DNA sequence: ATGGGTACGATTATTACGTCA
DNA sequence: ATTGACGTAATAATCGTACCC
């Protein structure tokens, strides 16, 4: 698909895009395209997930070797985390000019993970006594390997728990983490949003939970973060789209005016068919035709030249064939 | 090739809370 | 003011799958 376009004013048109952000770039891509047929606006976007922080931040970790191993694993996996980024077909200069959020330095505001609500309101009612309700989380199916493993591991955390005799057959109720537990997990999550096995076990011991529960909590926490970030990204792209739409309208109007000028001016009448082009960097409209003398000449006769490949601007309403 | 470990997405089930009659 | 039904949001947990070692 040919990138149809326009584009605009690099003078703070997208002031909202200037918020600092820290979403890491993500190389993998799936393609989603947003277009507005009414106005001939066509924006190619690749929507990926928010690109997990996969913060490899060091932690008060076990052995250096373990940590290394784990980090390498995370790095290897990092290629399929999500994020939003521009399609590779989009000219880099455009990306730069537009302050597109998926460019690392121009990224949309990242969900402030650490500042997210520390504990769910629900947790108010729970307390550490629930730690010992471990036997009861309301899911009957639990015969997978992980739970088997946990059965072994949790014996430690249950050591102090007297009411686990009736475990078999008892319907498990869903655990609600206490405020303190949630807060602790949140703190931990701020430091590193993934856990290596030793960290997991240590955390579980500290909180008197099973390692599996800690693991699940982290998984869910990452999912929540991602969801939040996706919402933020969506909102951001919506604004971006609106802004580009406005810009496109403005440019279409400009093109219309120029065409009117062209038809009314004898000077233009004598020229061969001309294609209007726009410099994506300086955003000036230029005419280009088979005659070298007129190509790459800015309408305003300024001396600057185009900085990057020109993107043709179709006269009239853009009917972009994809 | 295979198994173990982990992450993720999608989904389910439970809990807490708000609203309303 | 109280209460029970109902809807909803949050979230703990499960399942299936993909990936790496």
Can you tell me whether residue A43 is helix, strand or coil?
Answer: strand
- Residue A174: the pLDDT is 72
The DSSP call for residue A208 is T
**pLDDT means over runs of 10, chain A (322 residues):** 31 33 32 32 34 34 39 37 32 35 45 41 35 37 41 37 35 74 88 85 87 88 86 84 94 94 70 58 53 39 33 34 32
| Token pair in block for residue A77 | 């996996």
Task: Report which DSSP code applies to A78.
Answer: G
Of residues A132, A142, A204, the one with CA closest to residue A168: A142
3-state SS record for A154-167: HHHHCCCCCCCHHH
Identify the pLDDT of residue A111: 52
Grouping H, G, I as helix, E, B as strand and the rest as coil, residue A137 is coil
Task: Tell me the three-class secondary structure of A283-320, residue by residue.
Answer: CCEEEECCCCCCCCEECCCCCCCCCCCCEECCCCCCCC
Give the whole-angstrom CA distance, residue A113 versus residue A101: 18
Q: What is the DSSP string of A231-300?
A: HHHHHHHHHHHHHHHHHHHHHHHHHHHHHHHHHH-HHHHTSPP-EEEE-TTT--EEEE-SSTTTTTEETT
Q: Which CATH architecture has domain A121-222?
A: Orthogonal Bundle (1.10)
As a rounded value in angstroms, the CA-to-C1' distance for A122 and B21 is 26
Domain ranges of chain A: 15-110+238-246, 121-222, 251-312
Q: Does strand B come within 7 Å of the CB of A217?
A: no
Q: What is the pLDDT of residue A236?
A: 85
A196 touches strand B (CB under 7 A): yes
State whether the beta carbon of A176 lies below 7 angstroms from any atom of strand B.
Answer: yes
In this complex, the answer to whether residue A124 has its CB under 7 A from any atom of chain B, a nucleic strand, is: yes
Rounded Cα–Cα distance for residues A139 and A81 (Å): 29
Unique residue bearing structure tokens 């009917």: A319
Evaluate whether A195 touches A218 at the Cβ level (below 8 Å).
yes
């Amino acid at each position: 698909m040919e990138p149809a376009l326009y584009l605009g004013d690099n003078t703070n048109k997208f002031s909202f895009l200037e918020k600092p952000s820290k979403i890491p770039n993500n190389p993998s891509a799936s393609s989603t395209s947003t277009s507005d047929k009414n106005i001939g606006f066509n924006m190619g976007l690749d929507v990926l997930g928010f690109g997990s922080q996969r913060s490899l931040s060091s932690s008060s970790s076990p052995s250096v070797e373990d940590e290394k191993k784990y980090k390498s694993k995370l790095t290897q996996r990092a290629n399929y985390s999500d994020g939003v980024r521009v399609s590779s077909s989009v000219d880099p200069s455009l990306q730069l000019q537009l302050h597109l959020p998926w460019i690392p330095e121009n990224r949309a505001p990242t969900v402030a993970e650490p500042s997210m609500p520390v504990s769910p309101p629900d947790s108010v009612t729970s307390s550490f006594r629930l730690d010992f309700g471990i036997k009861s989380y309301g899911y009957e199916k639990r015969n997978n390997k992980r739970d088997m493993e946990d059965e072994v591991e949790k014996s430690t955390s249950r050591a102090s728990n007297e009411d686990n005799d009736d475990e078999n057959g008892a319907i498990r109720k869903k655990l609600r983490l206490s405020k303190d537990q949630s807060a602790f997990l949140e703190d931990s999550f701020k430091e590193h949003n993934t856990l290596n096995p030793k960290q997991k076990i240590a955390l579980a011991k500290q909180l008197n939970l099973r390692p599996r529960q800690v693991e699940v909590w982290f998984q869910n926490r990452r999912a929540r973060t991602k969801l939040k970030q996706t919402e933020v990204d969506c909102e951001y792209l919506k604004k971006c789209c609106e802004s580009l739409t406005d810009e496109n309208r403005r440019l279409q109007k400009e093109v219309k005016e120029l065409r009117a000028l062209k038809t009314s001016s004898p000077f233009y009448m004598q020229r061969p068919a001309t294609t209007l082009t726009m410099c994506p960097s300086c955003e000036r409209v230029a005419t280009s035709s088979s005659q070298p003398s007129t190509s790459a000449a800015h309408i305003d006769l300024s001396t600057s030249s185009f900085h990057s490949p020109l993107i043709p601007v179709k006269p009239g309403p853009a009917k972009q064939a994809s």
